């Protein structure tokens, strides 16, 4: 699942059936820790729900009681509702603007679950940085173990460049090989936010150029795809 945000995600979503991506590598990083924890709250914010879903399913299969909390900015962005309900014992949904389900944030729902006295053994939160940070702040005071999945800017994904370094308890770790999942209470979120903003100007320029030349760029991409298919058709 890809949410169109900048140039690359728009390009990905413009691919048509039968078209391909030239280079894909993975899976990389450490696998999610799946075991019988007891009661696990799995939280997905926006497109983060797509990443939370397979882990929620695995946790359910590992015999956990899974409480799923799915949040989105608005109704159209609520995804995987049926799938999440199938792998959870309880599904809670929020939208920021109240256009679907309850108005509010995923942390409001988490707070309710905590306050009603549910014993939570683990929280897994995947979504925008402000959401993961808010979850970490909330669970810290309740001493609930919390894992979040980070996606700082990466180049190679093999630990070679160090661009995705995050500060964990004051020490550098690489999200590509040491992560992507980290203990939320040990992350320096300020540094994460600051480093993710490093190329904002260039990203904006790329996207503006893309929007201006959208039609010709997409035509070029599809033409390249056709050429690639023709090459493969030749058995090369």
In order, the DSSP letters of 24-75 are -----SPPP--S--SEEEEEEETTHHHHHHHHHHHHHHTT-EEEEEEEESSG
Query: Which one, 191 or 218, has the nearer CB to other proteins?
Result: 191
Angle subtended by helix axes 200-212 and 214-233, to nearest 10: 80
Can residue 177 be called a binding residue for other proteins (CB under 8 A)? yes
Sequence-distant (6+) residues with CB within 8 A of 15 are 21, 225
Q: How far is the CB of 220 from other proteins (least distance, A)?
A: 12
Can residue 235 be called a binding residue for other proteins (CB under 8 A)? no
Q: Sheet holding 39-45: strands in order across?
A: 102-103, 90-95, 65-72, 39-45, 122-126, 146-149, 181-183
Query: Which one, 38 or 162, has the nearer CB to other proteins?
Result: 162
Q: How far is the CB of 25 from other proteins (least distance, A)?
A: 4
Residues 111-170 that bind other proteins (CB under 8 A): 155-163, 165, 167
Q: How far is the CB of 146 from other proteins (least distance, A)?
A: 22
The Cα–Cα gap between 124 and 36 comes to 14
Can residue 183 be called a binding residue for other proteins (CB under 8 A)? no
Can residue 31 be called a binding residue for other proteins (CB under 8 A)? no
With CB under 8 A as the contact rule, the residue among 4, 13, 172, 232 that binds other proteins is: 172
The Cα–Cα gap between 126 and 115 comes to 22
With CB under 8 A as the contact rule, the residue among 76, 169, 183, 209 that binds other proteins is: 209
Point out which residues pair with 91 in neighbouring strands. Answer: 68
The residue written with tokens 């940070």 in the block is: 133
Can residue 3 be called a binding residue for other proteins (CB under 8 A)? no
Query: Which one, 103 or 171, has the nearer CB to other proteins?
Result: 171
Query: Which one, 85 or 196, has the nearer CB to other proteins?
Result: 196
In order, the DSSP letters of 132-148 are HHHHHHHHHHTT--EEE
Residues 57-86 that bind other proteins (CB under 8 A): none
List contacts with other proteins (CB under 8 A): 7-8, 22-28, 155-163, 165, 167, 172, 177, 188, 190-191, 194-195, 197-199, 201-203, 205-206, 209
């Amino acid at each position: 699942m890809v949410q169109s945000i900048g140039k690359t995600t728009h390009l990905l979503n413009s691919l048509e059936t039968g078209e391909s991506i030239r280079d894909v590598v993975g899976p990389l990083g450490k696998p999610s820790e799946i075991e019988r924890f007891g009661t696990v709250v799995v939280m997905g914010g926006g497109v983060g729900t797509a990443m939370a879903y397979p882990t929620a399913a695995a946790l359910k299969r590992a015999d956990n009681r899974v409480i799923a909390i799915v949040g989105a900015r608005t109704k159209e962005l609520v995804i995987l509702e049926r799938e999440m309900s199938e792998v959870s014992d309880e599904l809670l949904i929020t939208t920021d603007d109240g256009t679907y389900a309850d108005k509010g944030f995923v942390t409001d729902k988490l707070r309710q679950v905590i306050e009603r006295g549910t014993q939570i053994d683990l929280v897994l939160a995947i979504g925008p940085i402000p959401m993961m940070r808010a979850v970490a702040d909330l669970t810290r005071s309740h001493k609930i173990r919390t894992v979040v999945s980070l996606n700082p800017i990466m180049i190679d994904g093999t630990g070679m460049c160090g661009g995705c370094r995050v500060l964990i308890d004051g020490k550098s770790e690489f999200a590509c090989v040491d992560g992507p999942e980290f203990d939320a209470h040990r992350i320096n979120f300020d540094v994460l936010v600051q480093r993710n903003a490093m190329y904002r100007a260039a990203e904006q320029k790329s996207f503006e150029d893309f929007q201006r030349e959208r039609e010709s760029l997409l035509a070029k991409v599809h033409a390249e795809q056709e050429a690639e298919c023709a090459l493969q058709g030749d058995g090369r």
